[in-house]
Amino acid sequence: MNLPLRPDILAAAAGGVVLALGGVAAFVWRARAARRVLGDTLAKVASDVLRDVTVPDGAGGGFHIDFLLRSAEGIVIVDLRQVAGAVFAGEHLVEWTVMGKAGRSTFPNPLGPLYDRIAAVNALIGASAPVIGRIVFNDGADFRTALPAHTLRLSDLPASLPPAGEAGDAHAQAWASLVASCVPSPPALRRR
C-alpha cells in the first residue's frame, strides 16, 4: 500500500535527521578537540610519547599503560581518566566516586595499579632513569576533596614537569629499552 507523501511529515523527518547529524558532528568535534588538548599538553613535557602499550609484568602477563613519556625528569607513566563531574577521591579509599550529569559512578582506586606499573617499568629499565607515575584527570573533573598523591589535572601536568626541550639525550637508553619491551595494548584495554 502506498501512502501519500505529506510535506509536513517530510519536513519533520528532515529536521530530525539534521538535528541527529548535528549532534554527531558536535560529539566528534568535542572528542577531536579533547585529543588536540591532550596532545598539545603532552608535547610540552615529553620528548617522546608511547600511547596504549602493554609493559611486561615479569610473570608472563603485562600491564596496560595509557601513556609513557620520556621527560627531563625520567620516564613518566600517565594513567588518564576522562570524567565530568564532582570527584570524591582519597589515597586510602577503595573506590573513587564521580557524580555528574550522567549520575553517580565509581571506579577502583587507581593508585595501587599505578604502583604496579611503576614497578614493572623499573624492572625493565633498572636504575637507568627515574620512573614517575601520575593519575591525570581531564579538566572536566571537579575534585571535592584534596587531590590524592600522584594525582593531578591535565592542565597542571606542564607545571609538574620540566619542558620537553630540557630532556635532550637524558634517559635515551632507558627509553630505547622500554620501547623495545612494549607492545600495543589490545583495544579492549583502552579507555579512550
Residue-range definition of the domain harbouring residue 106: 7-187
pLDDT at 169: 75
Flag whether 1 is in a domain. Answer: no
Separation of alpha carbons 179 and 191, rounded Å: 21
Flag whether 192 is in a domain. Answer: no
Flag whether 97 is in a domain. Answer: yes
H or E, element range at 183 = strand 183-184
DSSP 139: T
- Number of Cβ within 10 Å of residue 19's Cβ equals 10
pLDDT at 170: 74
Flag whether 178 is in a domain. Answer: yes
Cβ neighbors of 144 (< 8 A, separation 6 or more) are: 86, 87, 88
Task: Answer with the residue of higher pLDDT: 189 or 141.
Answer: 141
Using a cut of 0.85, tell me whether the model's pTM lies above it. no
Mean pLDDT of 34-51: 82
Cβ neighbors of 78 (< 8 A, separation 6 or more) are: 42, 65, 66, 67, 68, 69, 134, 136, 157
Q: Calculate what percentage of the chain has a pLDDT beyond 90.
A: 56
